[in-house]
């Protein structure tokens, strides 16, 4: 079966199914593995955090304050962007650790800090995420509540195909240059759909 993908590329699979489709993701992966499910949840959460930052900053390009605005709105928006950035940074570290198996020494080198500092900043967040806390970037107030920093990211196993498809579509919709998409496809021949085909299997 020959398939035309959102990236503008086509591909053919030997068994008649469309490679790189969400149906393929679901059938090729055994979601019963707790480790695999954690890795997929972590990678998707990082992608969602990146998308949310993009959505938020996109509005800054052509949004101006009302007449008489003193600029405070922009500063408040910058504060909120900092919150979204913190969420993304935590998830970037968790992705390196959980998805790619990076050591704390490697994480520290990439952050430009000492290993003890990296552990102090992110080790507890990693454990909270592994324990299914959907917002490990937010400080804990007590056993029941966390500070409302950036929205929690809750991903159930059954949500994975839908969320991956949404992120694929978002990437394609915001990559206006077809040449750029084709270059991405050539550089990543097995990732015709950038998120779905990049999920751990």
pLDDT, one tens digit per residue, over 69-119 is: 677 777 888 888 888 999 999 999 999 999 999 999 999 999 999 999 999
Strand locations in the chain, DSSP E? 2-4, 10-12
> What pLDDT does 117 receive?
97
Structure-block tokens of residue 11: 């591909």
Q: State the Cα–Cα distance between residues 114 and 117, nearest whole angstrom.
A: 5
**What confidence score (pLDDT) does residue 27 get?**
38
99: three-class secondary structure by DSSP: helix
Helices (H) then strands (E): counts for the chain: 7, 2
The predicted pLDDT at position 176 comes to 62
Mark 51-86 as b/e (b = at least 16 C-beta within 10 Å).
bbbeeeeeeeeeeeeeeeeeeeeeeeeeeeeebbee
Query: Do 181 and 7 form a contact (C-beta atoms < 8 A)?
Result: yes
Q: Rounded to an integer, what distance in angstroms lies between the CA atom of residue 56 and that of residue 91? A: 18
In angstroms, the CA 115 to CA 105 distance is 5
Which residues of the chain register pLDDT less than 70? 1-32, 61-69, 140-149, 176-192
Question: Tell me, what's the pLDDT at 9?
Answer: 45
């Amino acid at each position: 079966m020959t398939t035309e993908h959102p990236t503008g590329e086509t591909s053919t699979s030997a068994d008649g199914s469309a490679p790189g489709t969400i149906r393929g993701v679901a059938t090729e992966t055994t979601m019963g593995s707790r480790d695999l499910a954690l890795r997929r949840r972590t990678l998707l959460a990082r992608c969602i955090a990146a998308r949310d930052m993009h959505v938020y900053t996109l509005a800054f390009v052509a949004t101006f304050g009302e007449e008489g605005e003193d600029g405070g709105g922009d500063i408040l928006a910058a504060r909120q962007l900092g919150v979204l950035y913190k969420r993304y940074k935590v998830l970037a570290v968790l992705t390196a650790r959980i998805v790619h198996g990076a050591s704390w020494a490697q994480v520290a080198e990439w952050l430009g800090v000492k290993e003890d500092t990296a552990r102090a900043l992110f080790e507890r967040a990693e454990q909270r995420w592994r324990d299914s806390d959907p917002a490990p970037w937010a400080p804990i107030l007590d056993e029941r509540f966390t500070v409302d920093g950036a929205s929690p990211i809750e991903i159930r196993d059954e949500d994975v195909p839908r969320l991956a498809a949404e992120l694929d579509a978002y990437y394609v919709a915001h990559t206006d240059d077809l040449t750029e998409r084709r270059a991405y496809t050539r550089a990543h021949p097995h990732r015709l759909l950038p998120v779905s085909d990049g999920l751990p299997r």
